[in-house]
Amino acid sequence: MIELKNLQKTYQGDNGSLEALRGVSAHIRAGEIYGVIGKSGAGKSTLIRCINMLERPTTGSVIVDGEELTTMPERQLRDVRKKIGMIFQHFNLLSSRTVYDNVAFPLELAGKTASEIEAAVAPLLELVGLADKRNQYPAQLSGGQKQRVGIARALANRPKVLLCDEATSALDPQTTHSILELLKDINQKFNLTIVIITHEMQVIKEICDRVAVIENGLIIEEGTVIDLFVRPQTATTKDFIRTIVSHDLPDIFADIPFSATPSPGSNLMLRLSFIGTSANEPIIAGLIRRFNVDVNILFGNIDHLKATPFGTLLVEVSGEDAAIQAALQYLQEIELGIEVIGYVARNARTFN
């Protein structure tokens, strides 16, 4: 649905130039929810603005629904933009218009008649749950309600693509959740392709199918959300995951020295990640039986990536040195996210 090829964007300023994008390529499939996560200044805002040509890339190509946009004249571009909805962090509603008139706005721009507008707007207000607010002004609404108006407005021209520019960043966690549910809902109902840029891993976790991590104007990692959570490759990705899945060790380990290599009589500390069906297999029990080791669960957590269960366990494996190594090898062979935290001398433990 959206094809980005080697996008580069350089801003010329008074103090030299700034490279916001340094060669971004991505393929976003029809009907998927694609997330782009990055810290502020990473280039994600520029990237999403290049998709509908609010920013013209310096070089590279943007193809949306089979049409090359970078070379398209302004007039033709306006028609294409009507098929690309967009919502914003600060909602950008017209304060002088009621809820109804805000949603009607893109239809007015497209030259629709009043009856066509009424026929389109009423069900949209129903969809976003604001039918009773149609004659209120944005100033009378909460942040979540404003974003719902933004969504209804973005859907008015029945777009094929919805761009979300930090759409939940100004909202509290509960409201964020309800807005994400709404986006998930319209994604399924209309088979709408959704591109979300955010700095919040929570957003990626709740609704995205695939995700790209952007840093310094480059996509440094891309894949399904599950892959990214289980096998993050870069430090940046790990940082983002850490914001929602605690990787901190329990306090009692704070003063205990870890070593990267085993020494005689030391215990192994591991973090295990489980995804989907593997979360159901009796791995720990199997470990204990097959290798005659003890497994002590120190911390456990279960979460969902969109609809897929995702668990993490922090365990300490003790037993004969050889048995520990055999158990570790076994765990590394099966499809499981595994991270060796280190080895800890058995007598260093005072808490058990």
Partner 1 sequence: MSQEMLALLIEALWETLYMVAVSAGIATVIGVPLGVILVATSRGHILQNLWLNRILGYIANATRSTPFIILMVAIIPLTRVLAGTSIGTNAAIVPLSIAAIPFVGRVVESALREVDYGLIEAAQAMGASPFQIIRRVLLPEAMPSIVLGLTLAVISLIGYSAMAGAIGGGGLGDLAIRFGYQRFRVDVMISTVVILIALVQLVQTAGDRVSQRLNKK
Could you tell me how many residues of this chain bind partner 1 (CB under 8 A)? 28
Structure tokens at 111: 């030259």
| φ and ψ of 178, to 5 deg | -70, -35
Q: Which is nearer to partner 1, 138 or 311 (CB)?
A: 138
What is the closest distance, in whole angstroms, from the C-beta atom of residue 94 to partner 1 in the complex?
A: 6
Question: With binding defined as CB under 8 A, does residue 82 bind partner 1?
Answer: yes
**Among 307, 323, 131, 278, CA closest to 209:** 307
Listed ranges 84-92, 273-281, 309-317, 333-341: which one lies at the site for partner 1 (CB under 8 A):
84-92
What is the closest distance, in whole angstroms, from the C-beta atom of residue 340 to partner 1 in the complex?
A: 48
Q: Which is nearer to partner 1, 54 or 288 (CB)?
A: 54
Structure tokens at 186: 């319209």
CA distance 173 to 153: 23
The C-alpha torsion from 51 through 55 and 56 to 57, rounded to 10°, is -70
What is the closest distance, in whole angstroms, from the C-beta atom of residue 78 to partner 1 in the complex?
A: 4
Listed ranges 88-96, 174-182, 211-219, 336-344: which one lies at the site for partner 1 (CB under 8 A):
88-96
Question: With binding defined as CB under 8 A, does residue 54 bind partner 1?
Answer: yes
CA distance 332 to 339: 9
Structure tokens at 69: 């946009």
How far, in whole angstroms, is CA 250 from its chain's centroid?
Answer: 27
CA distance 341 to 315: 10
- Site residues for partner 1, 99-128, by CB under 8 A, read 105-106, 108-110
Listed ranges 26-34, 79-87, 175-183, 192-200: which one lies at the site for partner 1 (CB under 8 A):
79-87
Question: With binding defined as CB under 8 A, does residue 88 bind partner 1?
Answer: yes
Contact 303, 275 (CB under 8 A): no
What is the closest distance, in whole angstroms, from the C-beta atom of residue 96 to partner 1 in the complex?
A: 5
Residue pointed to by tokens 């108006």? 149
CA distance 168 to 61: 28
| φ and ψ of 15, to 5 deg | -105, 50
Question: With binding defined as CB under 8 A, does residue 84 bind partner 1?
Answer: yes
Question: With binding defined as CB under 8 A, does residue 86 bind partner 1?
Answer: yes
Q: What would the x/- binding string for partner 1 be over residues 145 to 164, using CB under 8 A?
A: --------x---x-----x-
Listed ranges 26-34, 118-126, 135-143, 342-350: which one lies at the site for partner 1 (CB under 8 A):
135-143
* 70: number of Cβ within 10 Å: 17
What is the closest distance, in whole angstroms, from the C-beta atom of residue 273 to partner 1 in the complex?
A: 39
CA distance 304 to 6: 33
Candidates 95, 174, 261, 350; binder of partner 1 (CB under 8 A) is 95
Candidates 29, 67, 68, 79; binder of partner 1 (CB under 8 A) is 79
Q: Running DSSP on this structure, what letter comes out for residue 346?
A: G
Contact 182, 125 (CB under 8 A): no
* 14: number of Cβ within 10 Å: 4
What is the closest distance, in whole angstroms, from the C-beta atom of residue 81 to partner 1 in the complex?
A: 4
Contact 142, 170 (CB under 8 A): no
What is the closest distance, in whole angstroms, from the C-beta atom of residue 17 to partner 1 in the complex?
A: 16
Listed ranges 25-33, 86-94, 181-189, 274-282: which one lies at the site for partner 1 (CB under 8 A):
86-94
Q: Which residues bind partner 1 (CB under 8 A)?
A: 52, 54, 77-82, 84, 86, 88, 90, 92, 94-97, 105-106, 108-110, 137-139, 153, 157, 163
